[in-house]
Amino acid sequence: MNVLKRIGDYTIRLWGDWCRVSGVVSGVHILALNPGNWSRPVREQLFRQILFTGIEALGLVLLIALAAGVAVVAQAQLWLSRFGQSDMLSPLLVVVIIREMGPLLVNLVVIGRSGSAIAAEMASMRVRREIEVLDAQGVDPMAYLLMPRVLGVAVSVFGLAVIFAVVSLGSGYLSGLLLAATQVDPVLFINRVLGTLSPTDLVHFMVKTLIPGLLTGTICSLAGLRAGDSATEIPRAATRGVVRSIGAVVVVSALISLLTYG
């Protein structure tokens, strides 16, 4: 009975967390549709979030993208050469990088780099009671704090995933030439990649980057805002935000893949 009680309590708590996250995501979209909420300070918060989450993480994402393209081709080279399927390199890269690896790796990079920072920042503001000060001054914390961070993370994840896919395809093609996994010219390779991509793949790519990005920004922000009054709550909030965001991104990514290609 104790085991069943724990399972029930965990399920109820998990459902409550998902309802809370869904409500915040919906509220952010409603606020974003109102032009009156986009004051200059809010726009500055959005641009600052995109700068930190997207532009400043570009170097790391480029490095991982180069390594990912090489790794995929290196693992596939033996199979492609054994069966004489050199023309399968471009479809293989599309399936592995664009459908699965690219969105997931970019989301994990953003969670580890920016998600923890967002949770720690929100927890720090909570400890110093800055949120109460904003509320007392008539500033809506939802519009000023959550909206630019949630949307900024989502936009950054999408942009980084696009760059990741392009760079990985390029490094994969060059690796294929060096490892003799393919002998096609660049124009033919690009045409094969574009021919392999379908409208479903493009929608899948957008959904698999934007939705997890929204969840990451929301979960990490809530983890910080729900921190206690002690300074020791700051690192705990960052850890909770990262762990919960990783779990949410993995589960949602798997569900999106099953619904799209299952």
Task: Give pLDDT tens digits for 120-136.
Answer: 999 999 888 888 888 88
Rounded Cα–Cα distance for residues 196 and 189 (Å):
11
What Cα–Cα distance (Å) separates residue 180 from each residue in 9, 165, 167? 56, 22, 20
DSSP designation for 89: H
Closest to 160 in 3D by CA, of 205, 121, 196: 205
CA-wise closest residue to 86 among 171, 185, 201: 185
Closest CA to 115 of 156, 75, 164: 156
Task: State pLDDT tens for residues 65-99.
Answer: 999 888 887 776 666 655 555 566 677 778 888 88
Buried/exposed 23-61: b ≥16 CB within 10 Å, e otherwise: ebbebbeebbeeeeeeeeebeebbeebbebbbeebeeeb
**H or E stretch including 64?**
helix 58-83
Amino acid letter for position 83: F
Question: What's at 137, amino acid-wise?
Answer: Q
Percent of the chain clearing pLDDT 90 (strictly above): 47
| Tokens, residue 51 | 């700068």
| Burial (CB count <10 Å: 0-12, 13-18, 19+), residue 155 | buried
Tell me the two tokens of residue 131: 């949120």
Please write the tens of the pLDDT for every residue from 198-225: 888 889 999 999 999 999 999 999 999 8
Which pLDDT value is given to residue 239? 93
Quote the pTM value.
0.89
Three-state DSSP at 183 gives coil
Instruction: Return the closest-CA partner of residue 48 out of 163, 159, 115, 148.
Output: 148
Domain that holds residue 234: 2-261
**Does residue 109 carry a pLDDT above 90?**
yes
Q: How many domains does the chain have?
A: 1
